[in-house]
Amino acid sequence: MTLTDAPTLPGWRHVHSGKVRDLYVPDSADGDPTSDAASDGPRRLLMVASDRVSAYDWVLPTLIPDKGAILTALSLWWFDQLADLVPHHVLSTEVPDAVAGRAIVCEQMSMVPVECVARGYLAGSGVADYRRDGAVCGVVLPEGLRDGGRLPEPLFTPATKAPQGEHDQNVTFDDVVDRVGRDLAEQLRRVTLAVYQRGHAIAADRGILLADTKLEFGHRPDGTLVLADEVLTPDSSRYWPAAEWQPGRPPSSFDKQIVRDWLTSPESGWDRHGGGPPPPLPDAVVERTRARYLAVFERLTGQSWAQPGGR
User: Do 231 and 197 share a domain, yes or no?
Assistant: yes
| Confidence at residue 57, expressed as pLDDT on a 0 to 100 scale | 87
Q: Is residue 273 part of a domain?
A: no
Residues 62 and 149 in one domain: no
Predicted confidence (pLDDT) at residue 138 exceeds the cutoff of 60: yes
Q: Which amino acid is at 64?
A: I
CA distance 116 to 239: 17
* 40 and 164 part of one domain: no
144-154, pLDDT tens digit by residue?
999 999 999 99
Residues whose CB falls within 8 Å of the CB of residue 285, separated by 6 or more in sequence, listed in order:
258, 259, 262
Query: Please, which residues have CB within 8 angstroms of residue 275's CB and are 6 or more apart in sequence?
Result: none
Q: Are residues 242 and 131 in the same domain?
A: yes
Does 132 share its domain with 83? no
Q: Are residues 209 and 196 in the same domain?
A: yes
User: What is the reported pLDDT for 39?
Assistant: 45
pLDDT at 307: 54
Contacts of 131 by beta carbon, 8 Å cutoff, 6+ apart = none
Q: How much helix, strand and coil, in percent to the nearest 5, is found in the chain? A: 30, 25, 45
Give percent of the chain above pLDDT 70. 91
Residue 3 has pLDDT above 50, yes or no: no
| Residue 32 clears pLDDT 80, i.e. is over it | no
Do 57 and 186 lie in one domain? The reply is no
pLDDT digits (tens, 9 = 90+) for 152-211: 999 999 998 766 555 678 999 999 999 999 999 999 999 999 999 999 999 999 999 999
Cβ–Cβ under 8 Å, residues 147 and 127: yes
Q: What is the DSSP secondary structure assignment for residue 89, as one 8-state letter?
A: -
Q: Is 44 among the domain residues?
A: yes
- Answer whether residue 282 is part of any domain: no
Using CA atoms, how far apart are residues 43 and 98, in angstroms rounded to an integer? 22
39 domain-assigned: yes
**What CATH code is carried by the domain that includes residue 46?**
3.30.200.20
Mean pLDDT of the chain: 91
Mean pLDDT computed over 237-249: 93
Domain harbouring 203, CATH code: 3.30.470.20
On whether the CB atoms of residues 147 and 249 are closer than 8 A, the answer is: yes
> 126 and 95 in one domain?
no
Task: Give yes or no: residues 252 and 130 share one domain.
Answer: yes
Half-sphere exposure of 258 (CA within 13 A, CB side): 20
- Whether 85 and 125 map to the same domain: the answer is no
- Domain boundary, last residue among 107, 142, 172: 107
CA 12 – CA 252 distance, rounded (Å): 40
Q: pLDDT tens-digit profile of 92-135?
A: 999 999 999 999 999 999 999 999 999 999 998 899 999 999 99
In terms of domains, do 133 and 251 share one?
yes
Among 67, 87, 107, the domain boundary falls at 107
Q: Answer yes or no: is 287 within a domain.
A: no
Q: Give residue 139's domain range.
A: 110-259
Contact 112, 211 (CB under 8 A): no
* Domain end marker among 107, 135, 154: 107
Instruction: Give a yes or no: residue 276 inside a domain.
Output: no
Does a structural domain hold residue 290? no
Domain count, the chain: 2
